């Protein structure tokens, strides 16, 4: 017995009131094409990003700065060769740039240390001050470099991670803090 309700609300189903409803196969290819277009856009975007030259950030002019020397207490029981502080008036950063790394959260600094002393230095400590575009101070980050800079020599330190920086940081200025005789 058929009450006439067999065709009501079947929408995507095929069949009459006597047979159980069956799903019709989907003939739409739009979802598949959409995924292909998305994949193509991701590949092209990744290729463009990969081929772009790295940003060097804003380069702050470097000026030789006078740095404070750490005083050594002769009465201290430590070994004098371990605490010998180099004359920082003859060590300077001759060039510097910075860029972002680590998905934009870390600062990578490239700089050249120039040693005009008659001896090699090691454990060079730098401090970098980060500022906004308008020049207001954001944060300072420091790093000790265990490498040796030879006497009357220069050494370039490339992409040294100095720490996390504020997303508003636009400029960086790095200075030498301390160094020890090698």
Q: What is the CATH number of the domain that holds 170?
A: 2.60.40
Quick one: what percent of the chain has pLDDT higher than 90?
42
DSSP state letter for 90: G
What is the spatial distance between Cα 175 and Cα 64, in angstroms, rounded to a whole number?
9
For residue 70, the model assigns a pLDDT of 41
Same domain as 64, residue 47: no
pLDDT value of position 79: 44
User: Does residue 39 lie in a domain region?
Assistant: yes
Quick check: is 6 in a domain? Answer: no
CA 167 to chain centre: 11
What residues does 107 pair with on adjacent strands?
A: 100, 163
Would residue 5 count as lying in a domain? Answer: no
Note whether residue 8 is domain-resident: no
The region, left, alpha or beta by phi > 0 then psi within -120 to 50, assigned to residue 46 is alpha
pLDDT of residue 141: 93
Q: Give me the count of residues in the chain.
A: 182
Q: Residue 27: its pLDDT value, please?
A: 60
d(CA 98, CA 57): 5
Please state the domain count of the chain: 2
pLDDT, position 89:
77
pLDDT at 55: 56
66 and 121 both lie in a single domain: yes
Task: Supply the pLDDT for residue 85.
Answer: 64
| Residues of the chain scoring pLDDT < 70 | 1-31, 52-87
Residue 86 sits in the same domain as residue 21:
no
Give the pLDDT score at 7: 52
- Range(s) of the domain holding residue 25: 13-51
């Amino acid at each position: 017995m058929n009450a006439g309700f067999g065709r009501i609300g079947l929408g995507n189903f095929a069949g009459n009131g006597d047979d159980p409803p069956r799903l019709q196969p989907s003939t739409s290819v739009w979802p598949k094409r959409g995924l292909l277009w998305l994949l193509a856009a991701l590949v092209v975007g990744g290729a463009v990003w990969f081929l772009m030259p790295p940003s060097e950030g804003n380069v702050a002019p470097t000026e030789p700065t006078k740095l404070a020397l750490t005083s050594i207490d002769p009465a201290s029981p430590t070994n004098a060769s371990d605490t010998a502080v180099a004359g920082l008036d003859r060590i300077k950063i001759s060039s510097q740039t910075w860029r972002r790394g680590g998905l934009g959260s870390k600062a990578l600094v490239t700089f050249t240390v120039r040693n005009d002393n008659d001896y090699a230095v090691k454990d060079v400590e730098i401090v970098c001050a980060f500022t906004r575009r308008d020049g207001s101070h954001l944060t300072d980050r420091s790093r000790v470099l265990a490498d040796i800079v030879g006497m009357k020599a220069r050494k370039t330190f490339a992409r040294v991670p100095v720490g996390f920086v504020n997303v508003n940081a636009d400029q960086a200025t790095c200075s030498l803090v301390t160094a020890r005789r090698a």
